[in-house]
């Protein structure tokens, strides 16, 4: 079983002007594709070849002999999750049970957004900001490089990619503006 790229749940142009088609061409068509292709090469004829990505991530996290497999599996998973974390006409506030949970665990949706932005903008170098469920409590966390909440036994609910390739063509070095656009215009609650 070869790993494949997920189909985008929207057209590449649907997120403009907040994320351009050019960014998608590079990010989805080159970066994400490379992780999937590399993972397939790395796991061919190994015990990991037929495992779901989540299981590969759990079994390889923190094990130096599997660093390359972990990085590519986690990045393939992270990106697939990121594509689903956005939608056309997204943003604003959730209108579901999630809103109540954010209000309970953060005090308000605005305070959650503030914590999420701080994590995303404060991630030194490349990485991710996440909303996670930690044993029933919502928390914000950030991870570097390919790391993700699955490797730490947490359930990811939402993510934003803060590697430069996710935003640099559209925002240059203005990561904070990208994260703001993600939360206010793109996030898929």
Read off the pLDDT of residues 18-50 as tens digits, 9 standing for 90 and up.
999 999 999 999 999 999 999 999 999 999 999
Nearest to 132 by CA among 111, 116, 146: 116
DSSP code per residue over 46-65: STTTTS-HHHHHHHHTT-GG
Q: In this predicted structure, which of 22-26, 76-80, 143-147 has the lowest mean pLDDT?
A: 22-26
Rounded to the nearest 10 degrees, what angle do helices 67-84 and 33-43 cross at? 140
Radius of gyration of the chain (CA): 16
- Is this structure's pTM higher than 0.75? yes
Read off the pLDDT of residues 85-133 as tens digits, 9 standing for 90 and up.
999 999 999 988 999 999 999 999 999 999 999 999 999 999 999 999 9
- Partnered with residue 187 across adjacent β-strands are 86
Residue with tokens 């930690």: 134
CA pseudo-torsion sign 115, 85, 133, 55 = negative
Q: Which domains does the chain have, with CATH numbers?
A: 21-84 (1.10.287.990), 97-186 (3.55.40.20)
Cα–Cα separations (whole angstroms), residue 135 to 16, 40, 88, 129 = 36, 33, 31, 19
């Amino acid at each position: 079983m070869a790993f494949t790229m997920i189909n985008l749940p929207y057209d590449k142009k649907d997120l403009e002007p907040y994320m351009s088609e050019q960014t998608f061409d590079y990010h989805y068509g080159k970066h994400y594709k490379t992780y999937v292709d590399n993972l397939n090469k790395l796991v061919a004829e190994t015990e990991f070849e037929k495992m779901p990505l989540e299981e590969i991530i759990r079994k390889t996290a923190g094990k130096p002999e599997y660093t390359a497999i972990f990085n590519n599996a986690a990045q393939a998973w992270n990106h697939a999750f990121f594509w689903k974390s956005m939608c056309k006409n997204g943003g604003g506030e959730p209108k579901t049970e999630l809103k109540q949970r954010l209000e309970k665990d953060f005090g308000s949706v605005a305070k959650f957004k503030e914590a999420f932005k701080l994590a995303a903008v404060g991630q030194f170098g490349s990485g991710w900001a996440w909303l996670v469920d930690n044993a029933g409590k919502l928390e914000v966390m950030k991870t570097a490089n390919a790391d993700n909440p699955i490797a730490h036994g947490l359930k990811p609910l939402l993510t934003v990619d803060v590697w430069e390739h996710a935003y640099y063509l559209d925002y240059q070095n203005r990561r904070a503006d990208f994260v703001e656009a993600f939360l206010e215009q793109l996030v898929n609650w």
